[in-house]
Amino acid sequence: MYAFHKWLEHRICSWSMEATTRRLLLDNEAPFKQEIYIHSFHYASFVGFQTTISWFSLFDLFMERSVTRELQDCSNLDDLQWIRSMRPIRLDVADSARMQQRKGNMLRFASLERPPFVIFERHSDGTIRGFKGYCYEIIHALQKIYNFTYEVDQPKDNTYGTVMPNGSWNGMIRMIKEQVIDIGVGPFSVTYSRSKAVDFTVPFYEEPTGILIPPPAEDNRLLACTKPFRLEVWLSLLLCVTTLPIVLWKDLQLVLKTYQKASSTSNENSKSEEENHFQEKCPSLAKQYFFVLGVLIGQSGQKLPSSGFSPRLLGAFWCLSAVVFASAYVGILVGFLSIPRLSPIISSLEELPASKLEWGVQRGTALETLFTEATTGVYQTIGEGLLRQPTALVDVNADGIQRVTNGSYAFIKEKSYLEFAVEEDYARSGSCRLSMARQEFFKVNFAFALPTASPLKTLLDKKILQLMETGIGEYWKKIHWPRSNRKCDDVKGSSAPKSLGLTDLQGAFLILAIGSATASLIFVAEGLVKKRTNEGQETSPLSRCRPHEWMNTLIRNFAGLDKSCDLKYRAQVVIDRVIA
């Protein structure tokens, strides 16, 4: 097989056969290809191969991947010429006669620059010297078939065409309706309103619409301590911390009262002693709050209630639950701080009205008509925003791109143009200043626009369909679509942990600052209160009491007890009751 391959290579690519090979391929002469097939088959018979299915499979694979590539390389044919030789696009006599009716073989085009479909090649002084792009690849292929020339005009209002309030059209649609031009060359969106005004060729491309937005932003670290749990979790946890101490306190009171009743006697002195024992043994509500919070934040030294089985069981289960809460919180918080999270500003068109972004589209396009004429749904909301903001409709796409780079703006355009803009901006700035929302919407077909009942429609429809069937459209797409490095697509944070800085822990410092300020204010308030109290003790009967008992003395006076400072037992009873 290797020897046969080298023989074919020498046979096809020899200097005496190169010109013949090229001529036969360009003239779509199938017998030349059949001759290669016959030689190959004879060689297979010569070496004793049987014509089995396995042999034909091997032969087909060899012919497809080796001989055909040798043919193309040796004949020096480009991809378009090669595809035409493999799948002939022949010019009918009738089609040729109708093309000759165009005076001077000159066609008048109208175009707007719209990469990657229409790209203007310019001189250094800015004047246009040529046209390229996906659409002009089609035109140049048709030009080789029909042998025509063309001239290109641009609409003065720089629009594709929309309906004016008086019912007339502007832009290239107006030029086509008035037959100022023969073909509108560009990615015309085929819409119902346009199809009533002009004719369209068969579609050559289907395109969705995208939203260009600023790049994903890193989540704010100021309130990082609240990020591990959602709002409903925080509310549920707050409810537990608020109500559980009260339940524990009431449970302990009931348990101790039950023990008191069981051991009480008819003696009043004994009852009084049991009551004193109850007051001393029953923990206060404040201690229950300290217990619940201490267990939750992992503070050591917390003890379960010393009386009753049910309070201790409830406290034990709270300890188990607190371990789960604390472990989950710490784990999520560490991951959030060490691995940055980037979230897109919006992901879909439905999120755009509720965001802080303004939005816009290019004036005179199908998107303007889509939004401004919508009567329901999110399209109507977007259209109302366009009508409400005088600057929402941009005349040049570059203005919309620039607004997005400045921030707080979204530009709605066909996806291919937005991809081109993202890659171009990255190549120019070296950073990802633009991104695209994940959702795509409003898929439309692109076609050339023609005057109504134009004789060119039949010719263009037939040849455009044949060109698309050869697969040459994918080849053109690889040429003119940006070679994306995908660096700005779905930007994500690093998967590796990072060292934490002050920005990451600013929430913890904020909590410390708030606590320090609050403690300072309370310290100042306590100092003022103590100063006033000391001044009042000089003339008050409370001066006979020790300094730390002035509050107890006030309570005794208020309760109508003896003003002496020696009634410790009765004062302690009143204090415990007030605190409870």
Quote the CA–CA distance of 82 and 79 in Å, as a whole number. 5
Rounded Cα–Cα distance for residues 338 and 546 (Å): 55
Nearest of 416, 551, 515 to residue 115 by alpha carbon: 416
Using the 3D structure, point to which of 296, 322, 339 is the last residue of a domain: 339
How far apart CA 379 and CA 371 sit, in angstroms, is 5
Is 371 a residue whose pLDDT tops 50? yes
Structure tokens at 347: 């992901």
pLDDT for residue 11 = 53
Q: What are residue 218's phi and psi, to 5 degrees?
A: -75, 140
State the chain's maximal CA–CA distance in angstroms: 135
Is residue 46, in this structure, part of any structural domain at all? yes
- Helix (H) / strand (E) element for 263: namely helix 231-263
Task: Name the packing angle between helices 68-75 and 18-26 (round to 10°).
Answer: 110
Q: Residue 493: is its pLDDT beyond 60?
A: no
Residues spanned by the domain of 43: 2-86
Which residue matches tokens 């010297």?
A: 129
| 240, pLDDT greater than 80 | yes
Distance CA 69, CA 90 (A): 23
State the Cα–Cα distance between residues 198 and 171, nearest whole angstrom: 13
Asked if residue 65 belongs to a domain, the reply is yes
Chain segment 391-417, per-residue pLDDT in tens: 899 998 999 999 999 988 999 999 999
DSSP 432: -
How far apart, in Å, are the Cα atoms of 556 and each of 81, 273, 279?
A: 110, 21, 18
Q: Which of 339, 371, 401 is the last residue in one of the domains? A: 339
Query: Coil, helix or strand for 393?
Result: strand
- For residue 116, say if its preceding peptide bond is cis, omega within 30 degrees of 0: yes
Of 339, 356, 373, which residue constitutes the final position of a domain?
339
Sort 539 into a burial class: Cβ within 10 Å, 0-12 / 13-18 / 19+: exposed
Question: d(Cα 225, Cα 333) in Å, to the nearest integer?
Answer: 7
Residue 9 lies inside a defined structural domain of this protein: yes
State how far the Cα of 386 lies from the Cα of 392, in Å rounded to an integer: 5
Over range 316-333, report the average pLDDT.
84
- The predicted structure's pLDDT at residue 262: 61
Per DSSP bridges, beta strands 199-200 and 149-153 are unpaired
| 348 in any annotated domain | no
Helix (H) or strand (E) holding 320: helix 309-338
For the residues 44-53, what does the mean pLDDT come to? 35
pLDDT digits (tens, 9 = 90+) for 99-154: 545 444 789 999 999 999 999 999 999 899 999 999 999 999 999 888 899 999 99
The C-alpha atoms of residue 17 and residue 204 are separated, in whole angstroms, by: 38
The answer to whether position 301 is within a domain reads: yes
Q: Where are the alpha helices (DSSP H) in 390-505?
A: 397-406, 415-429, 456-469, 472-480
From the list 374, 439, 398, 365, the residue with the least C-alpha distance to 211 is 439
Per-residue HEC secondary structure of 219-257 comes to CCCCCHHHCCCCHHHHHHHHHHHHHHHHHHHHHHHHHHH
Residue 37 pLDDT > 80: no
User: Average pLDDT of 442-454?
Assistant: 94
Count the domains in the chain.
2
Q: What is the pLDDT of residue 76?
A: 60
Closest CA to 214 of 345, 312, 33: 345
Residue scoring higher pLDDT (23 or 542): 23
∠ CA 192-194-195, nearest 5°, is 65
Examine the pLDDT at 365 and tell me if it is beyond 80: yes
Looking at 308-317, 411-420, 439-448, 547-556, which range is the least confident one? 547-556
Does some domain include residue 138? no
Amino acid letter, residue 523: F
Task: Give residue-wise pLDDT tens across range 144-188.
Answer: 888 899 999 999 999 999 999 899 999 999 999 999 999 999 999
User: What confidence tens digit (pLDDT) does each residue in 511-553 have?
Assistant: 767 877 887 788 778 778 777 777 665 554 444 444 445 455 5
**pLDDT of 562 strictly over 80:** no
CA distance 373 to 98: 40
Task: Write a three-state SS string for 187-225.
Answer: EEECCHHHHHHCEECCCCEEEEEEEEECCCEECCCCCHH
Q: Quote the tokens at residue 507.
A: 């929430």
So what's the pLDDT on residue 38?
A: 35
Contact 550, 527 (CB under 8 A): no
- Give dist(CA 439, CA 458) in Å, integer: 37
The tokens describing 37, both together, are 């097939």
Q: Residue 390 falls within a domain, yes or no?
A: no
Instruction: Show the DSSP H helices in 264-308 as ranges.
Output: 268-281, 285-296
> In what helix (H) or strand (E) does residue 360 lie, and over which residues does it extend?
strand 358-362
As to burial, measured by CB atoms within 10 angstroms (0-12 exposed, 13-18 middle, 19+ buried), residue 343 is exposed
Q: How many residues does the chain have?
A: 580
Name the residue with higher pLDDT: 7 or 257: 257
The crossing angle, in degrees rounded to 10, of helices 79-86 and 18-26 is 70
Distance separating alpha carbons of residues 400 and 416, to the nearest angstrom: 15
Phi first, then psi: give them for residue 354, nearest 5 degrees.
-85, -10
pTM of the model: 0.55
**Which range is least confidently modeled, 219-223, 332-336, 367-371, 542-546?**
542-546
User: In this structure, is residue 118 part of a structural domain?
Assistant: no
Average pLDDT taken over every residue of the chain:
74
Give residue for tokens 């020696």: 566
